[in-house]
Amino acid sequence: SETELNRLAEQLPAWLETSRKESRHGQPASYIPELAHAPGDALGIALLDAAGREVTAGDSRLSFTLQSISKVFTLLLALMDQGEEGVFRKVGMEPTGDDFNSMLKLELVEPGIPFNPLINAGAIAVSSLIRGATSAEKTERILSFFREVAGDPTLTFNEAVYRSEAATAHRNRSLAYFLKDNEVLDEEVEPVLDVYFKHCSVEVTCRHVARMALVLAMNGTDPLTGRELVPRRYVQIAKTFMVSCGMYNASGEFAIRVGLPAKSGVAGGILALVPGRYGIGVVGPALNDKGNSIAGVHLLQTMSEAFDWSMF
């Protein structure tokens, strides 16, 4: 509502500065070397409502790469391309309780399929399901879908981050080869990985992320254009995964403390939404030991408690 938004605009700068202090207990990811350059004490937020009213605070203009946030949107595109049956032949519906790049439980669901589409193994399988004759064509389709949902036709990859990940992704490579051996991947491994690295390296600000989140909050329709971008059923599936797996093995704690569908990425971004009401994008590159933005989670918790946003 307008009064809630006014109150939010008033309080947000002070809340953000309090949360920013949490950054010193974490640090930017460094296993992708290029991500280590991010400013560890940055914190920015953008919140957008269905009438197009926007509230921002802190480093809301900082650009960063989507990383795992992109997995929600490749899942949506794969569902639109292959239907539920086509997707869930290759990837499960269960949380793992392990790290996002875990190898531990790859074989425990059905014959070798990854537990869910938001862990790396599952997202790599999803990348292979995007329609397109070549990896370049798949990548192009992903990019144009992201551009539509973010409402920005100039959205593109950060080449340096893409190269940095592609050059150091030994673990993701081994996950992908394992999936290939289990016949989860029908295609060659390297072209599938190329699609995956590229969608992870799409560069955004938290204002883009807020817009992407708003489309999910409004069940697939962009309220600013009135266009249906994703069928409601697929958004429902994506939001359910966000609640059960969106914050990796901290998803249970996040559900208790914040209680909103959300997805984090290792560049420090968090996409969150208040169903039917707001899209939220947060960026804070310093991560906690679970790989989530430490200050970003703190800020979302403060807001959710103040406005009683928990879904539960």
Per-residue mark of binding to ligand GLN, 273-292 (x: CB under 6 A): ------------------x-
Q: Which residue, 285 or 291, has its beta carbon nearer to ligand GLN?
A: 291
Q: Quick count: other Cβ atoms within 10 Å of Cβ 275?
A: 14
Q: Is residue 278 annotated as involved in ligand binding?
A: no
Q: Is 162 a catalytic residue?
A: no
Distance of closest approach, residue 197 Cβ to ligand GLN, in angstroms? 7
Residues 170, 103 contacting (CB under 8 angstroms): no
Distance CA 13, CA 19 (A): 10
Q: Is 266 a catalytic residue?
A: yes
Of the residues 246, 259, 265, 281, which one makes contact with ligand GLN according to CB under 6 A: 265
Angstrom CA distances, 68 to 50, 278, 305, stand at 25, 21, 26
Q: Is 71 a catalytic residue?
A: yes
Q: Is residue 120 annotated as involved in ligand binding?
A: yes
Distance of closest approach, residue 274 Cβ to ligand GLN, in angstroms? 23
Q: What type of residue is 261? A: P
Q: Which residue has the tokens 């009213």?
A: 53
The radius of gyration of the chain's CA atoms, rounded to the nearest angstrom, is: 18
Catalytic residue among 196, 239, 243, 293: 196
Distance CA 287, CA 271 (A): 15
Q: Is residue 266 annotated as involved in ligand binding?
A: yes
Q: Which residue, 121 or 155, has its beta carbon nearer to ligand GLN?
A: 121
Distance of closest approach, residue 293 Cβ to ligand GLN, in angstroms? 11
Which residues from 152-191 bind ligand GLN, rule CB under 6 A?
165, 172
Q: What type of residue is 113? A: I
Q: Is residue 234 annotated as involved in ligand binding?
A: no
Of the residues 15, 64, 73, 100, which one makes contact with ligand GLN according to CB under 6 A: 100
Angstrom CA distances, 309 to 19, 72, 300, stand at 18, 22, 10
Residues 168, 248 contacting (CB under 8 angstroms): no
Q: Which of 52, 45, 47 is nearest to 18 (CA)?
A: 45
Q: Which residue, 259 or 291, has its beta carbon nearer to ligand GLN?
A: 291
Distance CA 156, CA 150 (A): 11
Q: Is 282 a catalytic residue?
A: no
| Pairing state between β 227-228 and 221-222 | antiparallel
Q: Is 248 a catalytic residue?
A: yes
Q: Is residue 165 annotated as involved in ligand binding?
A: yes
Distance CA 128, CA 272 (A): 26
Q: Which residue has the tokens 């949506």?
A: 76
Interface with ligand GLN, residue 249, by CB under 6 A = no
Q: Is residue 162 annotated as involved in ligand binding?
A: no
Catalytic residue among 55, 71, 87, 189: 71
Of the residues 121, 200, 235, 243, which one makes contact with ligand GLN according to CB under 6 A: 200
Which residues from 44-83 bind ligand GLN, rule CB under 6 A?
67-68
Distance CA 242, CA 267 (A): 18
Residues 151, 187 contacting (CB under 8 angstroms): no
Q: Is residue 172 annotated as involved in ligand binding?
A: yes
Active site residues: 68, 71, 196, 248, 266
Residues that bind ligand GLN (CB under 6 A): 67-68, 100-101, 120, 165, 172, 200, 265-266, 291
Can you say which residues are annotated as belonging to the binding site for substrate? 68, 120, 165, 172, 196, 248, 266
Can you say which residues are annotated as belonging to the binding site? 68, 120, 165, 172, 196, 248, 266
